[in-house]
Amino acid sequence: MYNISDIEKIVGEQREFFRTGKTLDVEFRIKQLKKLKKAVLLHREEIEEALNKDLGRAPLEAYFCDIGSLILEINETIKGVRRWARPETCFSGFHCFPSMLTKVYKMPYGVSLIISPFNFPILLSLGVLTAGIAGGNTAVIKASSKSPACTAILQRIVSEIYPEKYVTVIDGGHDVADMCLAQRFDKIFYTGSPKVGKHVLNEAAKNLTSTALELGGETGNWCIVRKDADIKDAARKIAFFKMLNAGQICININQIAVAEEISAEFISELKKAFEKQIGKEPVNNPEYPKLINSAAYDKCEDLADKYRDRVVFGGHGNRDLCKFEPTVIYPVDIDEDIVQKELFCPLLPVVVFKDSEVGHVLKTISEREAGLSLYIFTGDVPWAKKVMQSMQFGGGCINEVCLHMMVKGVPFNGVGHSGMGAYHGKWGFMEFTHPTSVLIGSRSFNLPLREHPYDSSFKKFFISLFER
């Protein structure tokens, strides 16, 4: 168990190490990233076992969600970090004559704090660490107490390859997180709920610490299925995504708005898709993940019971296993409580609307807090593109689910109540560095235009000429 003195010591040693300048060397950073990749692959089976123990993940799901995605992230970073870290040379402008060159250096913040969640305990800790290392920072990772097996393997992996003065993993509950937040870090990266995100931001403000927040969104992520959508394709993809990690995904579909004209057919296809992918008894299927703990299970079951009269699929679970069936609640009014909050479980409420009134649905969504994701299924892709460019949300897909977060070279981020800041690849490097502009002054040909006295018509002419 950590106390405040332990945390202070770790942060102090990391700050001292950072000040040696070793992390400024890009080759040093690449070497550390290669160590991380090698260690993750070496411990692959142990990571898969830990993910199964904490979240009931099947080995393949554990690999493509956490391990494989992490390896892709590390590979992209190793390949690009030399280019990203290279100082940029800019033309200063004639108004700066004769000092015509300015350099922009990409400087690390220093000692960073990474607070990771339970739902993707490997990817959302070591994936963020990848960006931190690429930027030249040291890191303290506060791993989730809700996923103890994964936290244990994280501690083991990190301690094997990095000294504590460079990177370390801390376990413990909210009390330990608050001990960390009480320290003066140079960068904080938090992934979790908006409620805790506000607390993190409030604590960071005390030291004016640069903070990135990746949040789930207070009112959930919408999926819109219009009457011209490919119904079977939409149902298949939505069923897959809702079962993934038992719905405990920050970008998961929280609620669906489906056109009245196809709603009955869509519900039928959705049921078929669930049964085809996970069977008629998902709770007994070893491939179906579990909820993180009994508290999460009880919350899910209580909400299902509240809408029991409208459960058209699923609705049952096993508390001992912490598994709850994919559950479709239909129909639900757009103003009901269940579609105005993040569920983080396998419940899926369905709102029905007339296709001609889709604009009203979009208006209602836009009036609520910005979600982390938005998904649209339609045959009218030009219309969907216009919608995507007019709504506030982190990222999303047209006629697809979740894959936007796996695309190389693009940011993963939220907006407003779904977060601030961005990462993945170059965007992660940028998040963990700050640009420093340095003008290279000339000692020759300096004109006295900026100097007193100012009553010279010659000076007035040239300053007006250059600064416009």
Q: What CA–CA distance (Å, rounded) separates 372 from 411?
A: 12
- Please indicate, yes or no, whether residues 248 and 375 belong to a single structural domain of this protein: yes
Tell me, yes or no, whether 62 and 157 share the same domain: yes
Domain boundary among 215, 242, 258: 215
Classify residue 310: in a domain, yes or no: yes
β-pair type (210-215, 419-420) = antiparallel
Quick check: is 150 catalytic? no
Catalytic residue among 48, 73, 203, 214: 214
Q: Is residue 442 part of a domain?
A: no
Nearest-angstrom CA–CA distance, 379 and 226: 8
Q: Quick one: pLDDT at residue 157? A: 98
Does residue 400 share a domain with residue 252? Answer: yes
**pLDDT < 50 stretches in the chain:** none
366 three-class SS: helix
185 and 264, same domain (yes or no): no
Nearest to 252 by CA among 159, 154, 344, 358: 344
Q: Tell me if 446 is assigned to some domain.
A: no
Q: Identify whether residues 193 and 226 lie together within a single domain.
A: no
396: number of CA atoms within 13 Å, CB side?
Answer: 27
Edge-to-edge strands of the sheet including 101-108? 88-91, 101-108, 433-440
Catalytic residue among 150, 250, 397, 402: 250
Q: Cα(116)–Cα(93) distance, rounded to whole angstroms?
A: 44
Question: At which residue do the structure tokens 């959302």 appear?
Answer: 124
Any bridge partners for residue 99, and if so which? none
Residue 98: asked if its preceding bond is cis (omega within 30°), the reply is yes
Q: Is the same domain home to 295 and 369?
A: yes
For this structure, is 300 an active site residue?
no
CA 314 to chain centre: 29
pTM for the structure as a whole: 0.96
Find the CATH number of the domain harbouring 397. Answer: 3.40.309.10
Same-domain check for residues 237 and 144: no
Are residues 245 and 283 located together in one domain of the fold?
Answer: yes
Residue numbers of the domain that contains 258: 222-410
Residues 293 and 197 in one domain: no
**162, 189, 215: which is the final residue of a domain?**
215
Q: What is the domain-level CATH number for residue 101? A: 3.40.605.10
Q: Are 423 and 405 in contact (CB under 8 A)?
A: no
Give the pLDDT score at 344. Answer: 97
Closest CA to 157 of 9, 50, 18: 50
pLDDT on residue 462: 75
Residue 190: per-residue pLDDT: 98
pLDDT in tens, 320-334: 999 999 999 999 999
Beta strand pairing status for 187-192 and 111-115? parallel
* pLDDT given at position 461: 84
Q: Is residue 362 assigned to a domain?
A: yes
Is residue 97 packed enough to be buried (19+ CB in 10 Å), middle (13-18) or exposed (0-12)? middle
Residues 158 and 305 in one domain: no
Each residue of 354-368: pLDDT tens digit?
A: 999 999 999 999 999
Which pLDDT score, from 0 to 100, does residue 180 have? 98
Domain boundary among 200, 215, 230: 215
Sequence-separated (6 or more) residues with CB below 8 Å from residue 238: 223, 253, 256, 270, 273, 348, 401
**H/E element, 188:** strand 187-192
Max Cα–Cα distance, the chain, nearest Å: 88
Distance CA 292, CA 149 (A): 12
pLDDT at 464: 82
Beta bridge partners of 105: 436
E strands along 209-326, which residues?
210-215, 222-225, 255-259, 311-313, 317-318, 323-324
359 and 298 in a common domain: yes
User: How far apart are the C-alpha atoms of 145 and 292, rounded to whole Å?
Assistant: 11
